[in-house]
Amino acid sequence: MEKILKTKRKVRFQDCDPFNHLNNSKYLEYFINEREDQIAENYDLDIFEYMKTTGLSWVVASNQISYLKPAFTMEMVLIESQLIQYTDNLLLVEMKMWNENETELKAILWIKFIQYNIQTKKAASHSEDLMKLFESVVLPVDQSVFENRYLEIIKNLKTRTHA
């Protein structure tokens, strides 16, 4: 099973600011929408169907994002995501937005999701099946602090472009 999921998407005019750049708030929409599609297509997990049948879903607990380069109107971007950490009720997903050829990194996001029971309005534990799925797709990173991970990625990109 793929651990790093990748999808291409076109930046739309209505999502851009007067400078022709993808609006900062829209990055989160692009990331979350692509992640939903990616896990449905790659892991056969439709989170909306899951919510209807179990009464459980995930809520965003926090976002940490760094914007490196603008994404422009009508530009094709590549959005990649990977699960980097999980617990019995938490998921930490790392996402990156690249240009189409993956030569220019535009943004990095860490998004923390907590499983949530819609009936009790409280955090809930992941099922055994979900834990098995997470175990099979998790791709941990060395850093536990977003800023350190960001610096490592930037350093690796500079090394790659100067090699």
Q: What is the CATH number of the domain that holds 137?
A: 3.10.129.10
DSSP structure class, residue 140: -
The count of structural domains within the chain is 1
Distance CA 92, CA 141 (A): 11
Mapping DSSP to helix (H, G, I), strand (E, B) and coil, where does residue 66 land? strand
Amino acid letter, 154: I
The label of the residue with tokens 């708030």 reads 25
Residue 163 has a pLDDT of 59
Q: Note the pTM of the prediction, 2 decimals.
A: 0.95
Q: Mean pLDDT, consecutive 10-residue segments, the chain of 163 residues?
A: 97 96 97 97 96 97 97 98 98 98 97 97 97 98 96 90 64
Helix axes 47-54, 24-43, angle to 10 degrees: 70
Question: Collapsing DSSP states into helix, strand and coil, what is residue 132?
Answer: helix
3-state secondary structure 70-113: CCECCCEEEEEEEEEEECCCEEEEEEEEEECCCCCEEEEEEEEE
Q: Residue 111: which domain range?
A: 5-162
Tokens 């600011």 found at: 17
| 124 in Cβ contact with 115 (< 8 Å) | yes
pLDDT at 160: 78
